[in-house]
A and B are shown apart, each in its own frame.
Chain A
Amino acid sequence: MNSYSNLHMYVMAVPLLSAFALNLMGRLSRYWVLPLTVGPLLFSTIGSVLVLVRVASEGAFSYTVGNWKPPYGIELLVDPLSSMMLLLISVIALIATFSANAWARREFPGREHLFFTLYLIQVAGMMGLVLTADAFNLYVLLEITSITTYGLIAMGKGRAPLASFNYIILGSIGACFYLLGVGYLYMITGSLNMADIARIIGTVNHGPALATAFAFVLVGLCIKMAFFPLHGWLPNAYSFAPTSASMMIAPLMTKVTIYLIVRVILSVFTPEYVFYTHQAVQSGMVWAASAAIICASSLALGQRELRRMFSYIIVAEVGYMVGGIWLANGQGMTGAVLHIVNDALMTLCLFLAAAAMSSRIGSLSFDNLNGLCRKMPLTMSAFVLAGLSIIGIPPTCGFFSKWYLLMGGIETGHWEFVAALLFSSLASVALFFRIIEFGYLRDMEDKQAEILFKATPSNEAPMMMLAPLLVSAASLILVGLSSGPIVRFVRTGILKFL
């Protein structure tokens, strides 16, 4: 029974170690790159399915690294929430890696192994983030993921290094604020283990120090997750990033940080403290989230380039989840956690579709999209499906999480949040139907079509990009239809806290 209580450690360690193997072997021959990225990620996916099954049947379990007992050592803990995130990260990284591989060959010929070294380290870092139960270890892993993201974004052309530099500056401020918050927590409790901190906080007279710690942690993570007024780094970083990097970074980075804020609220500060001790902060955060959703959706309407539009949609979706968390009831929290999964899959589908389109037409500015549906019907139908999911049309997964968020808003009487959600849905309708109009109703100029599509017999994107896209589009429906079991699983994870 105890035979695989350390499996989740291997799920994280295998991509990390194979990153180094890939760096060495990739120098010898580029044929090592594909097996050495798909192999470890496949292992992680299978491993995280096993971990999930075990958590579902037996409940949470943990592994203590190096046999240093918690609270002194670092504990890797899987509970329902983290096992779900672990599976999400490995599945998305696995799906994206095929398309990323095809793109890396175009974007960095001869340097793919360097790209995928960073890619695997980033995946391992994110897995560590969802597993760790140690507040300082979380800071280190946050920086590991961020540093690899800086590197991946800076590999792009043109404005990418500048966007990456701005991200470095803002990301470091965010991480340092988080570290300061941990410092204050350590001053109050003398411990770094999350469960231990939560236990000791309840027993000591903490005064304003705890509020200071929470403010620093909150602001730090809000910068990292690009919560609206602090989102400045995201649109440039994601739209100028190399195509091969954006399809993994965009779905996962913000979502993992939102998971972190859920984790910090549930296991460190406790919901009673976060939501009920400072009521003004709680309702203020819902208002801020509503403003974030409305502003980011409006900004998305003003964009004339596909990937830039997607990045503003991501900022709006961050508002959904932060608002859902701070509604402070079961419905809102369920909706927020479910939306982490759904939004990661939707964003993956959108960015894979953008990559597939871009492989044929190059620039993704809106003038370039005319008549694309006739040329690339499969790509465009997957794109439309992702769009429907962002809007929130029933069989797709986006509907279900939005439904929980709306119900949460209505139950707690936060009508501003309900209004913001509805506004954002309407804005998404405008966003996606505008592109559908370009794609389906307008015709591509013959000259342009000749240049772009003459070389190949099939007009669709190459198989390496199309197949992952279709898989991710199918997953939107599948996850949507299986929302019931997912919600039940999520609830087992959060109900004991609420």
Chain B
Amino acid sequence: MTDLVSGIVAKYNYWIYVILMMIGLYAMIGKRNLVKKLLGMNIFQTAIILFFISMGVKRGAAIPILDKAGTLANGVDPVQILNPLPHVLMLTAIVVSVSVTGVALAVMIRIYREYGTLEEDEILEKLDR
């Protein structure tokens, strides 16, 4: 039991990522309101950002801006600096997620104009008629 708890505590960021991802997935599939689905999608993407950032983290490491004189003298010590690549990848992923959200919002406006509602049940009711 204590092993389990300490295992969770030691890697709590990964557990949070899994929980966030499940919340997002549930909202995307289980919720009937289109705005809530979109929010679920954003939570899902945020969870992935957390996952990527977590893997770049090192305890006690600094941001990857090198001191020129020190580096030339001693070389780069990988333990001293964070891995910047996951952060850069996530910058791109944020851009992607913002554009998807933008397109989804624009599509939602068209749906609202067409049906006058954003509840999936009500839209399906109108379609049946």
Chain A 304-331, CB-CB to B under 8 Å as 1, else 0, gives: 0000000000000000000000000000
Chain A residue contacts of B115, Cβ below 8 A: 162
For residue B23, CB closer than 8 A to chain A, the reply is: no
What bracket does the count of chain A residues touching chain B fall in? 20 to 34
What bracket does the count of chain B residues touching chain A fall in? 20 to 34
Beta-carbon contact of B51 and A183 below 8 Å: yes
Interface residues of A in 161-192 (CB under 8 A from B): 161-162, 164-165, 168-169, 172-173, 175-176, 179-180, 183, 186-187
Beta-carbon contact of A173 and B108 below 8 Å: no
Beta-carbon contact of A173 and B103 below 8 Å: no
For residue B34, CB closer than 8 A to chain A, the reply is: yes
A370 to chain B, nearest CB (A): 28
Interface residues of A in 263-288 (CB under 8 A from B): none
Instruction: Please name the 6 residue pairs, one residue from A and one from B, whose CB atoms are nearest each other, closest first.
Output: A161-B110, A143-B96, A154-B107, A161-B111, A168-B104, A161-B107
For residue B45, CB closer than 8 A to chain A, the reply is: yes
CA distance A158 to B110 in the complex (A): 10
Beta-carbon contact of A165 and B34 below 8 Å: yes
Beta-carbon contact of A183 and B25 below 8 Å: no
For residue B41, CB closer than 8 A to chain A, the reply is: yes
**Whose C-beta in chain B lies nearest to the C-beta of A153?**
B107
Beta-carbon contact of A187 and B107 below 8 Å: no
Chain A residue contacts of B38, Cβ below 8 A: 169
Beta-carbon contact of A136 and B111 below 8 Å: no
A302 to chain B, nearest CB (A): 18
Chain B residue contacts of A151, Cβ below 8 A: 103
For residue A301, CB closer than 8 A to chain B, the reply is: no
Beta-carbon contact of A176 and B48 below 8 Å: yes
Q: Which residues of chain B have a CB within 8 Å of any CB of chain A?
A: 25, 28, 34, 37-38, 41, 44-45, 48, 51-52, 55, 85-86, 89, 92-93, 96, 99-100, 103-104, 106-108, 110-111, 114-115, 123, 127
| Beyond known contacts A164-B107, A179-B93: 5 more, CB 8 A cutoff | A161-B110, A161-B111, A168-B100, A172-B41, A172-B100
A220 to chain B, nearest CB (A): 11
Beta-carbon contact of B48 and A179 below 8 Å: yes
Main secondary structure of the interface of B (DSSP, over half): helix
For residue A218, CB closer than 8 A to chain B, the reply is: no
**Whose C-beta in chain A lies nearest to the C-beta of B92?**
A140
**Whose C-beta in chain B lies nearest to the C-beta of A187?**
B55
For residue A159, CB closer than 8 A to chain B, the reply is: yes
CA distance A162 to B37 in the complex (A): 13
Beta-carbon contact of B103 and A147 below 8 Å: yes
Cβ contact of B48, chosen from A154, A183, A187, cutoff 8 A: A183
**Whose C-beta in chain A lies nearest to the C-beta of B51?**
A183
18 contacts between A and B (CB under 8 A): A143-B99, A147-B99, A147-B100, A150-B100, A154-B107, A154-B110, A161-B107, A161-B111, A162-B111, A164-B107, A165-B34, A169-B37, A172-B28, A172-B45, A172-B100, A180-B48, A186-B55, A187-B55
CA distance A100 to B107 in the complex (A): 22
CA distance A53 to B107 in the complex (A): 43
